[in-house]
Structure 1
Amino acid sequence: MQNSSLKWIYLIVLSVIWGSSFILIKKGLVGLTPLQLGALRILFSAAVLGIAGWKSLKTIKKQEWKWVLISGILGTGIPVFLFAYAETEIDSAIAAILNSSVPLLAFIFGILFFGARFIKQQFLGVLLGLAGAVALILIGARVNPDQNYYYALLVIAAACLYAINVNIIKRHLQDVSAMAIALGNFLFLIIPALGILFSTDFFELPLGTDSTLQTSIGYILILSIFGTAAAKVMFNKLVQISDPVFASSVTYLMPIVSVTWGLLDGEIFTFLQFLAALIIITGVYLGNRSKKARS
């Protein structure tokens, strides 16, 4: 299958997987602290990737390990904790919506620091998608006026790190296999994650008898296998066969999935939010239509 078609398949699948991750974080926080949730997510994902792709590490060259480390910290290590803390105060759907700023940030960082080309139509598509995301935020603020939107800054911070990470992968890890990048990322995070679990007395909790705790861990296990391990490999591949802005456009589609899950979980979703979601989809299409024609 040609990359021009394959990249859209990756985009849609990742949108469903990552769009569902926010509700899983919300459920995981019922029995876990943000630090415990983030650490478990790292360890579970590292275990899954280690089993599936240990041999791929041999393909990473010595000079590339530096960028694998940086990618791991910026693309996984810090964001997993930022999102966990953010969702202690704001809805899972709102977190996904705020994460829609990644394509615009990837576009800006790419031009400023990574030598990316300025493409007018892509820029207009990014702005349109961002406008839809802002509309969703404003509508959500009216529907849920009691939420602490200062915690939304944690999501914006994570979005900045994601935006830098996609440019790093495209610029410095283009020829490294997607599996090797993902597993290499998590190798550097295992020891810090274990340290966090010990510091929070996680291993002293009644893991065998507390059903709430067991359920929360189950949600994080699902999140780690699909939303972190498998999705990380797919996303790395998507960056390599497209470009940072297109790959990060997955964050424009994720809110549609996350809002749907939120609706099923009792959160409010209005007709105006539906219209804003359509604006987001239009922005993704506009930003990549001309590039698709040239592929």
Structure 2
Amino acid sequence: MSGNSIKWVYLIILSIIWGSSFILIKKGLIGLTPVQLGAIRVVFTAIFLFIVGFNRIKTIALKDWKWVALTGLLGTFFPAFLFAFAETEIDSSVASILNSLVPLNTIILGFVIFKINSTKRQILGVLVGLTGTLLLILNGASLNPDQNYLYVSYVIIATFMYAASVNILKRHLQNMNALTIAVGNFAVIFIPACLILVASGFFKEEALSAPTLKPALFYMLLLSLFGTAIAKVLFNKLVHISTPVFASSVTYVMTIVAVFWGILDGERFGILQAVATIIILIGVYLAHKRK
């Protein structure tokens, strides 16, 4: 298979994996609380990564640990809980669409905090994307009056955390191996996640005997193994065999996959929401279009 064909295979596989993550969170919440789900997701992924590359921890320089810790907290730990809380009130498809704001927020934070210059096209892309976001939220609230759309704020906060993590990675950890960073991230957040899991009441007899627990743990196993551990390796490989621009296009395709899963699961998705989604993705495209 040619290199051009292989990169498309990686893109499709990644889009299916990441696009399915949001419905897995939704299914996991049937048997777990948001706190338990977030903690278990971190614990499971940490175990997978430690099996593969625990010995890489010793290669991290002391001066880099503060940045490894910060990217672990902002890029994984807090978003795991924020998305879980968000999907107790909003549809998984809406959460996935809002997740596509990460590239736009990366530009905003890069300009405001990290003093990275932005082009007029990038600014236009951000404005278009934010317009689509507002339309999505307003229409979603009217389409699903029984849902508390204030919970979209959890997803938006998480996307800003992802964006901050990306900027820190680019500025301070650019030369560190991706697997090393991931293992270091989870070395920092593994113990806090374990403590939170214990404090959540997960190990109480009534929680462990609940009939919905096993299916929920199975969904978390899939999410942690494929949606985080394996997906990170595949994405790094995709960047190596293609270009960053091509690799970032996973943002568009995974949204389509997530919306498909949501509709299949009975979520309501109106015409205006579809229009809002297209507007957001156009904003992302404008912000990252190659000159």
Structures share a fold, TM > 0.5?
yes
Superposition deviation, residue 64 in structure 1? 1.3
CA distance in 1, matches of 2:194, 2:128: 42
Give 1:51's aligned residue.
51
CA distance in 2, matches of 1:87, 1:118: 33
Please, which moves more after superposition, 158-167 or 49-58? Answer: 49-58
Superposition deviation, residue 209 in structure 1? 5.3
**Are residue 184 (structure 1) and residue 184 (structure 2) matched?**
yes
CA distance in 2, matches of 1:74, 1:268: 31
Tell me if the contact between 1:106 and 1:248 (Cα under 8 Å) persists in the aligned partners. no
Tell me the matched-pair count: 289
Give 1:172's aligned residue.
172
Change over 3 Å in CA distance of 1:254–1:204 after alignment to 2? same
CA distance in 2, matches of 1:285, 1:101: 11
Please, which moves more after superposition, 189-198 or 111-120? Answer: 111-120
CA distance in 1, matches of 2:200, 2:165: 29
Q: Unmatched 5+ residue regions in structure 2?
A: none
What secondary structure, in the 3-state scheme, does the structure 2 residue paired with 1:202 have?
coil
Read off the aligned partner of 1:111 and give its amino acid letter. Answer: F
Tell me if the contact between 1:77 and 1:189 (Cα under 8 Å) persists in the aligned partners. yes
Report the identity percentage.
Answer: 57
Please show how residues 1-295 of structure 1 align to structure 2 within 5 Å: 13-205=13-205, 210-233=210-233, 253-291=253-291
What secondary structure, in the 3-state scheme, does the structure 2 residue paired with 1:145 have?
coil
Tell me if the contact between 2:32 and 2:213 (Cα under 8 Å) persists in the aligned partners. yes
CA distance in 1, matches of 2:5, 2:169: 21
Tell me if the contact between 1:102 and 1:251 (Cα under 8 Å) persists in the aligned partners. no
CA distance in 2, matches of 1:201, 1:208: 9
Superposition deviation, residue 233 in structure 1? 4.6
Deviations 1:73-97 (A, max 9, x none): 1111111111111111221122222
Tell me if the contact between 1:102 and 1:248 (Cα under 8 Å) persists in the aligned partners. no
Deviations 1:118-138 (A, max 9, x none): 122233233334433433333
CA distance in 2, matches of 1:5, 1:282: 26
Tell me if the contact between 2:137 and 2:149 (Cα under 8 Å) persists in the aligned partners. no
Superposition deviation, residue 21 in structure 1? 1.2
Read off the aligned partner of 2:38 and give its amino acid letter. Answer: G
CA distance in 2, matches of 1:7, 1:172: 28
Deviations 1:221-258 (A, max 9, x none): 11111222233455677899977x99877555543322
For normalisation by structure 2, the TM-score amounts to 0.85
CA distance in 2, matches of 1:4, 1:178: 23
Deviations 1:26-79 (A, max 9, x none): 110111111111111011000111112223334422211110001001111111
CA distance in 1, matches of 2:149, 2:273: 18
Superposition deviation, residue 175 in structure 1? 0.8
| Structure 1 vs Structure 2 CA RMSD | 3.2
Please, which moves more after superposition, 67-76 or 224-233? Answer: 224-233
Change over 3 Å in CA distance of 1:128–1:145 after alignment to 2? same
Change over 3 Å in CA distance of 1:7–1:141 after alignment to 2? farther
What secondary structure, in the 3-state scheme, does the structure 1 residue paired with 2:203 have?
helix
Change over 3 Å in CA distance of 1:141–1:207 after alignment to 2? closer
CA distance in 2, matches of 1:64, 1:237: 24
Superposition deviation, residue 20 in structure 1? 1.6
Superposition deviation, residue 272 in structure 1? 3.3
What secondary structure, in the 3-state scheme, does the structure 2 residue paired with 1:217 have?
helix
Tell me if the contact between 1:23 and 1:261 (Cα under 8 Å) persists in the aligned partners. yes
Read off the aligned partner of 1:146 and give its amino acid letter. Answer: D
CA distance in 1, matches of 2:251, 2:286: 15
CA distance in 2, matches of 1:188, 1:247: 28
Tell me if the contact between 2:83 and 2:158 (Cα under 8 Å) persists in the aligned partners. yes
Read off the aligned partner of 2:255 and give its amino acid letter. Answer: P
Change over 3 Å in CA distance of 1:67–1:45 after alignment to 2? same
Tell me if the contact between 1:24 and 1:219 (Cα under 8 Å) persists in the aligned partners. yes
